[in-house]
Structure 1
Amino acid sequence: MSRAGDQQQPVSLEPGEVRLYSRHLLMPAIGIQGQLALKAARVLMVGAGGLGCPALLYLAAAGVGRLGIIDADRIEVSNVHRQVLFRTTDKGENKADVAKARLQALNPYIHIQAYVERFNIENAAALVADYDIVIDGTDNFTAKYLINDACCLGGKPLVYGAIIQFEGQVAVFNALQADGQRSANYRDLYAEPPEAALAPNCAEAGVLGVLPGIIGCFQANEAIKLITGIGQPLSNRLLMYDALSASTQEIRYSAAPGNPLRDPLQPFALQELPVACAAPTSEGGLNMGLGQLLELARKGTAVHLVDVREAHEREQVSIGGVHIPLAQLEHLGGRCLSDAPVVLYCQSGLRSQRGAVQVSRQWGRSDIFSLQGGISAFLGSDLYPELMAKLTLCQCSGLLRPQ
């Protein structure tokens, strides 16, 4: 396999780079030519979260000459247990900007471009065209399909990663093979996204903090292999890792005949799929932010606070209120919650948003809300102490008390 970036490869390393990369230079498989290939390479990291942070750390340390980081999010305290480029004191800062500063301090010989924006249909093609390799560090299916499609249309390899709870996946899509053809892509592995109810993200289902570090390092390794031409990339193979058993499983897959990216009769147009893992929005199914809830609390307005999670989740952490799992809430009829506004909550706000849409229609009410961001936002907010002190719950909702 040819090395990425050969056409514009630098001719030498600076003395400081020789010292920094000395252990690479000692390895015959990499050596000076491999290190020059790394210096010439351009890698785009989509998402500076749990996967992006470790992948970026090791790519920067390895000497990848140009790194792009695109992420529109700001740092939250709940990110820090797995997003190792950030500190709790970075709360509220742009992820892409903080990541760039930390990586530049790690390696002053590389160029880093931060894009504080979302990877979307407007910028996808241009961004992909400007880099040799793209790494997927996102946590939702809408982004994953768009990244895959942009890479396939742009002729660029994609290093895929995904994590949930204790399990992770890694693969390389659309890599140029020895026969001149491109390897299979994400749509060959997953033809369609799952339904919203089956598509939780890390905020909803949780993730072991060390897991994205493991999977992100796998992704960095695959990118380095593609750049230097060493080893065998994970093309047409999906590596699955189980952190609980410390075991791996490999699934082989191939190009699927029904993949629309290969339909010669109907040219594929880049498109953004509906957000599969977000809750639907509708009239009556409204989000209530923490600031809005605090306004009610300051006015002394009582509310029904309803935890719609399952019992085992409530046992782990709770902000109080009455416990009515979502499936039961939909059959309740709302009679005992008719005397005040109802604020539903879950871990991240996704399930409670679905519940707010559903029961507001069933009960014919417009005063049913979902706590935006759920428990994660509540406990991580600076408003938490005042909310705890001032929020008034209706009698059947119990006391607001962490458990």
Structure 2
Amino acid sequence: MLNDADLERYARQVIMPDIDEQGQHKLAAAKVLVIGAGGLGAPVILYLAAAGVGNITILDDDNVALTDLNRQIIYAMPDIGASKSRQAATAVTRLNPAITATYLDARLTSDNAETLIRAHDIIVDCSDNPETRQLAGTSCHRLKRPLVFGGAIQLEGQLSVFQSSIAGHTDTPCFCCVFPAMPDAKQAPRCSQVGILGPVTGVIGAMQALETIKLCLGLGTNLTGKLVLFDGRDMRTMEIATSKNPDCPCCGQASSD
């Protein structure tokens, strides 16, 4: 049973037949790892906390800079120079004290990926570099965890969900099927080089949060097997069907030989 404070806090979503009290308990029990507390991670973290996702781990090794504040809405001027993951966890506690917010001043690496991913139900990739994205994708496939992926640059964004090793979804692509050759970190375009408009990360981050909440609840149809492309310049959204690559080194036949 939800207590009176919870019933009041979550009243606008508990009243929905798709959620109700049972769904709210599912959210409270969920364990979500958010990789990256930047432009995408900021709205993801805030919306998950607001919805009552009970256990949120925030992974980021960066500090808040003035240039972050056009899009990383979880931070403010007093946070400049401080740890992003720590300040984001503080913001979660301020918004919803009932939630367990854990922060780690670290990147996802081959040394910590297995431990971190095994400890969570859903992984949300809000990172900004190819190596982390590839590691998150391969690790989630190997460890049978859903991966909610988002990316944004300039006025464009993309979003997908990967569940390639999870029962009922093994015929769907993994991250490496869709993104087989990630660019070298030195060649990949970065926000610091080509720019990003804040609301674009807000749009993609909000959709990542929605897909994560839906996965927690088992609600509706998610973006597994689909890639959404967002064009903020002309306000257009395109959905592309994605397919499994039989020769994928991560999930294809070669990976099991």
Give the TM-score taking structure 2 as reference length.
Answer: 0.95
**Structure 2 counterpart SS, 1:171:** strand
**Alpha-carbon separation, structure 2, partners of 1:40 and 1:139:** 28
How far did residue 89 of structure 1 move? Answer: 1.9
Q: Write the distance in 2 (CA, Å) between the matches of 1:230 and 1:203.
A: 37
Aligned pair 1:87/2:76, yes or no? Answer: yes
Matches within 5 A, 1:171-186: 171-174=160-163, 179=168, 181=170, 183-186=172-175
The equivalences for 1:3-402 within 5 A come to 12-174=1-163, 179=168, 181=170, 183-195=172-184, 198-263=187-252, 266=255
TM-aligned CA deviation for residue 181 of structure 1? 2.7
Check conservation: 1:177, 1:183, Cα contact below 8 A.
no
Q: 1:65 to 1:241 in 2, by over 3 A?
A: same
- Give 5+ residue unaligned stretches, structure 2: none
Report the Cα offset of residue 156 of structure 1. Answer: 0.1
Name the larger-Rg structure: 1
Q: How far apart, CA to CA, are the structure 2 residues paired with 1:155 and 1:218? A: 22
Partners in 1 of 2:133 and 2:10 — Cα distance? 33
How far residue 180 of structure 1 moved from its aligned partner, in angstroms, is 5.7
Identity of aligned residues (%): 37
Q: Distance in 1 between matches of 2:125 and 2:203?
A: 15
Does the 8 Å CA contact 2:141/2:251 hold for their aligned counterparts? no
Aligned AA (1:37): K
Give the superposition deviation at 1:179.
3.1
Q: Secondary structure at the match of 2:45?
A: helix
Taking a change above 3 Å as real, the CA distance of residues 111 and 182 of structure 1, as seen in their structure-2 partners, is farther
Aligned equivalents of 1:176 and 1:109: distance in 2? 33
SS at match of 1:172: strand
Query: What is the TM-score with the length of structure 1 in the denominator?
Result: 0.61
Please identify runs of 4+ aligned residues in structure 1 that moved more than 4 A: 175-178, 195-198, 263-268
Superposed CA RMSD: 1.7
Gaps of 5+ in 1: 1-11, 269-403
Partners of 1:87 and 1:199 in 2: how far apart? 28
Measured in 2, the distance between the counterparts of 1:83 and 1:197 equals 23
Give the secondary structure class of the aligned counterpart of 2:198: coil
Cross-structure match for 1:304: none
Report the CA distance shift for 1:265/1:177 in structure 2 as closer, same or farther (over 3 A).
closer
Shift of 1:193: 1.4
Contact residue 248 and residue 254 of structure 2 kept, 8 A: no
Sort the Cα spacing of 1:182 and 1:227 in 2 relative to 1 into closer, same or farther, 3 A.
Answer: farther
Q: Could you say which structure has the greater relative contact order, defined with CA pairs below 8 angstroms and 6 or more residues apart?
A: 2
Q: Which residue of 2 aligns with 1:348?
A: none
Residue 73 (structure 1) shift: 0.3
Quick one: distance in 2 between partners of 1:180 and 1:222? 16
CA contact (8 A) 1:71 1:118 kept: yes
Deviation of the 1:262 alpha carbon: 2.5
